[in-house]
Each structure stands twice: as C-alpha cells, then as structure tokens.
Amino acid sequence: MTTIFDPVRFSAVSMDVMACGRATAQALTDRQHSRLDLLLAATMRDSGFYRDHLQGMRPRGAPLAALPVVTRRQLMDRFDDWVTDPHLKLHELQAFAADPERIGEPFLGEYLVWESSGTSHQPGIFVQNAQTMAVYDALEMLRRSAPRPIQRWLDPLALAERIAFVGVTSGHFASFVSMQRLRELQPWLAPSLRSFSLLQSTRSLVEELNAFAPTVIATYPTVAALLADEAAGGALHFSPREVWTGGETLSAAVRRRLELSLGCAVRNSYGASEFMSIAWECDQRCLHVNADWVILEPVDACGQPMPADEFSHSTLLTNLANFVQPLIRYDLGDRVKLHRDPCACGSGLPVIEVEGRQDDALVMAGNDGQPVTLLPLALTTVLEDRAGVFDFHLRQRDDRTLVLRLPTQASDALVVVARCRAALKEFALEQGLKPIHVLGELGQAIPRGRSGKAKRIVACRASAQH
C-alpha cells in the first residue's frame, strides 16, 4: 500500500512554514488574505454547496466576517455538492470508513480519510489530499517545540525514539490514521511507532506499554493522568522522556501531576478533524495558532467577534490548506480565548487558550475489590461505535450504577436504550468491573455548556453541578 505524500509540495511548504515562524503579525495577515482569496476562488468555481450558500455575494475581497457561518450538519447534508472532486461520494466514503481493515489506506489512491468522533452529535467524514497533508506534515514537524532541543538536533528523524500513541484504534480517526500513515511512509521506523487501544483494560494497557517501553507517549490528558497514577503505584516499568497531549483540556493540575509522576516533559497541542494542527505549545507553555494556514474567529452567542482575553461562546474556523473539502467560517464549537499580548518566546503567531472536552473519568468497583477507572473517551467510543448513539449524557450514580440520558422520544427509544445498556455492560466486564446497572432516562434535554457542547461523562463528585 502506498500512502499520501508529495515530497516536492512538502519541501516547498516546509520552507514557507519556517519563514513564517518568526514573521510579523502584518506578514501573517497578508499570507492569510492571499491564501483566502485563492481558497474562495476555487471554492466558488468547484463547490455547488458554497455557490448556493454564498449566492448573491462577491466573497473575494469582502471581509471574512461578512460571509455566513456554516455548520457540520449543513455540510454533511450536502456532502456530494460540498466537496470539489465529483468522484468523492458520501455513501462510498462511509462504507470505506466502516471497514477497519482499510485504516490509513488512500481512498481512490489519492485521499487520506478520517471520521470525526461525533462530539458535535453529527459525525463527519473528512478527506485530505497530498497538498493538504504537506501542510499538516510541515506544521507537525516544524512548529512542535522540542523539550530536548539538543537531542532533536542530534537525532532529527527521531531514530532513537519509541513513540506510543494511546487512543481509539477501532476507527478511521485522525490520530490513528496518521500513525498508520507514518509507519507506511517510514517502514524502517515502524517498529518504533506503535498504537495502543484505550478500550482495553488498564492492566492490559500497562503490560503492553511496559513491553514496548516508549520514550514518547502521545495521548489524551485523561489517559496520561491514568498512566501517572499507575506510575505512582509502581506499575509502569519505564520512564518516558516526553508526553504529548491533545484532544481534551489539559489543566495546570494534571500537567503538574504528569511531570511529577512520570518525570517527563509535557507538550500540549490543539487540533481537530477539520484542521489537524491548529496550534502547538511553545517552550513557554503557550499555544500558538498556525495562523498562516488556519483562521480562527472567536465569537459570541450572536456570532459577533469577541474581544481579546475573553473566552468565546464558539469559534469559527477557515481552513486555508484544504481546497477539496472547503471549510469557510465553519462553526467549530470550541471556546477559545485569544491573547492580546505577544508571547515571551518571540513568535509572532497568536496565542490562544482552549476550553476543550472536560469529561470525567469514572471510578467503578472492580471484581477484585480494587477500583477500576473508566476513561471518558473509551465510554463515548463504546456508545458511538457499538451502540450508534452520539447525543447522550452518562452520569455516575455510584460505583456500580450509571444513568444514561437520551433526548430521543422516538418509537424505538427503548430499543436504543437496551442497545446502549448492553454495550456498556459488555465493556464493563471487559474492564474487570463487577456487574453494573445502567438506568435510562428518555426525552430529557442534554445538559450543555455555554458553547452548546455537552459534558457527556460526569462522575459522582461532579453530578451535583448538572
């Protein structure tokens, strides 16, 4: 299998990314404007959805804020008209993404495909060609701050590293697809690049990681916190030198816990299915937006721009790298704070704070009398993948009881609850829990935060707040 990679494009983009690393704010704005003009011209020419969406407007030259916002539901409902390659058909892509044997395989020989996790309650399919991947590759390689710069200088290809990704490995999700692609691109490094499923029991995960002894772990903050607990208890028999986190909010308390228990450097990032490398952390622990390739607009509840140093209600994203699946003022749903002051590291790239997913880990009763931690991403994956439910609220009542709230009142609601209950009970047994009880609540609203996103997994200690 050959994967998606264009060395000529990658080299050209890499030189541009290096040049923009220390560019002024005005130079970055100029880059944005020229790339936005190119994107708008191509989109109006090749996307039927956007021609309708922007009907009567002259988007080129108009302020970006004058263009209407789009949502994932709008785009997915007209997927075949949205994409600019007529060979891309939603039903064919969905069938492709449903096959785990094809994870990392190019679709039609030229597109990398990943699916969203469904946190916006509308699953998405995203495609990237070689041009888009050249941008993502360059940003990942050149904008990620190295905690050990001398080591990186001596070993730029990370030949001495063993990198473990711990996440969801059962679907075409961006992080896992990217790991599979790296293994294909660099077969000589494949033995040092491995993925581990967070759906397995903690004991099994720890055993696999101990056998691999990674020097770098890439994962979610809640997974890293679980591994820190295992390290504190003496279960981890290796000492990683770096932990890369993303996908959830990394609090200052969790960061300190990771640094103390794992004894390593921690680097945080911010990305999404819609744009893989939105921001990477510098050595000052500040997230810098890759503003030369992505535009973020923090907005209030009415869609108006937010002032600096205040968290937004939501954030609009414009992807300047993907002309096949254009995203222009796309409602990302995340709460973001744009800093007014420049970073002490000297970079001209804007600094943001992100309020991402903040679901709780659930501590339940284990078969052997010891508590067992259920990771929030594992629980959401079980309900999405095994039960086919995306809009839900799972609250822990005690160490053997969960309450599942679904907004549906459809005729098959009881069947849906039964399917969710069976999936959760099966997963609990796989994790070594005592038999659990899953209570259903139907036809009730899902508690949502200010951005409209739900906190979907809530532990006992937090349930009073909801």
- 326 within 8 A of 318, measured Cβ to Cβ: no
Cβ contact 382:423 at 8 Å: yes
Instruction: Look up tokens 């896992």; give the residue.
Output: 176
pTM, entire model:
0.89
Q: Evaluate whether 317 touches 332 at the Cβ level (below 8 Å).
A: yes
Could you tell me the mean pLDDT of each successive run of 10 residues in the chain, 466 residues long? 84 93 90 95 96 86 90 96 98 95 94 80 90 95 72 59 94 94 90 95 96 96 95 95 92 93 94 95 94 97 95 96 98 94 92 89 94 94 91 94 88 91 96 95 71 73 44
pLDDT at 21: 84
SS3 37: helix
| CB 218 within 8 Å of CB 193 | no
Query: Domains, the chain, ranges and CATH?
Result: 7-160+167-189+241-252+263-355 (3.40.50.12780), 362-465 (3.30.300.30)
Predicted local confidence at residue 121, as pLDDT: 63
User: Which residue in the block uniquely carries the two structure tokens 């992807």?
Assistant: 319
The pLDDT value given to residue 463: 41
Give how far Cα 342 sits from Cα of 12, 158, 305, 351, 436, Å.
28, 31, 20, 7, 51
Strand ranges inside 153-274, DSSP E = 163-167, 193-197, 216-219, 242-245, 265-272
| DSSP run (H or E) holding 324 | none
Tell me if 294 sits within 8 A of 172, measured CB to CB. Answer: no
Contacts 24+ apart (CB under 8 A), 208-212: 209/164, 209/166, 209/236, 209/238, 210/236, 210/237, 210/238, 212/162, 212/164
How far apart, in Å, are the Cα atoms of 262 and each of 1, 77, 245? 37, 45, 14
Task: Please compute Rg for the chain using Cα positions.
Answer: 22
3-state secondary structure of 271: strand
Greatest pairwise CA separation for the chain in angstroms: 67
Q: What is the pLDDT of residue 452?
A: 45
| Residues 6+ positions from 298 with CB-CB distance below 8 Å | 305, 306, 311, 312, 314, 315, 336, 337, 338
The CA-to-CA distance between both ends of the chain, in Å, stands at 48
Q: Measured between alpha carbons, how far is 387 from 390 in angstroms, rounded to an integer?
A: 9
